[in-house]
Amino acid sequence: MSREPTERFSDRVENYSKYRPTYPKELINELKRAQLLSEDSVIADVGSGTGIFTKLLLRTGCTVYAVEPNDEMRLAAESNLNWYPNFVSINGQAEATTLEKRSVDLIMVAQSFHWFNAEETKWEFKRILKPTGNLALVYNSRQIEHTPFMRGYDQLLKKYCPEYEGIAQQYINLQQAKDFFGTEKVTHFVCNNFQIFNFDGLKGRLLSSSYTPKEDQVGFPLLLEGLEALFEKHQENDQVQFIYLTEMFYGKPVFSD
């Protein structure tokens, strides 16, 4: 199943758009409180995907350059967001955004940093950020140990999705963020997030992940059977709750020459 990161989600776009979680409004409020975001800001949303976080930024009135290398995901974002006059869709990637030198006040990266080449990305971020510019990395991380359902879902992925653990381990922590920023002055902001799913929604959420087998692949029938059993065991009123911890690492990066 292994493919280039820029191609992994090409056949997952519909499920990704419909079933991936959005982000809590507290993130936007925190960026405003820290004076990193205003309606006058120029933002590069790098690895913007289908535009889930992009939409939250656009609602503030700022100019957002949504940089996404995957054609299918970028087209989905354009379909949903082109009516915003402050939305600019860019066919680019973290290592080569195509944006002008020193043109960006804030670089946002939501749920995609682990796909980037870190060293090449540092050089590109340094090039496009204004001297006063800032960076924010955001992740929705499933709270695996929070409930029996969440534990069971994680065990299901480990059993039937061979690539799962390798990708999940690539999400960053505070020390790794500090290492990338090149400074200890990185703020770690945390808030809670959740989704409520019926079974169809839960299946769509499962299929939105690049490490799960597709419906026509070997292993999917057993995975689906396990998902159905897990849902039936834990559902209440035909629903289950997906629980996340949303983390944001932000500050002014110090990228050395």
Domains defined for the chain, CATH in brackets: 5-143+170-195+243-251 (3.40.50.150)
* pLDDT 10s digits, 46-66: 999 999 999 999 999 999 999
* pLDDT 10s digits, 1-40: 334 555 555 567 888 889 999 999 999 999 999 999 999 9
pTM of the model: 0.91
Which pLDDT does position 135 carry in this prediction?
Answer: 98
For the chain, the three-class secondary structure string (H helix, E strand, C coil) is: CCCCHHHCCCCCHHHHHHHCCCCCHHHHHHHHHCCCCCCCCEEEEECCCCCHHHHHHHCCCCEEEEECCCHHHHHHHHHHHCCCCCEEEECCECCECCCCCCCEEEEEEECCHHHCCHHHHHHHHHHHEEEEEEEEEEEEEECCCCCHHHHHHHHHHHHHCCCHHHHHCCCCCHHHHHHHHCCCCCEEEEEEEEEEECHHHHHHHHHCCCCCCCCCCCCHHHHHHHHHHHHHHHCECCEEEEEEEEEEEEECCCCCC
Q: What is the mean pLDDT of residues 189-216?
A: 92
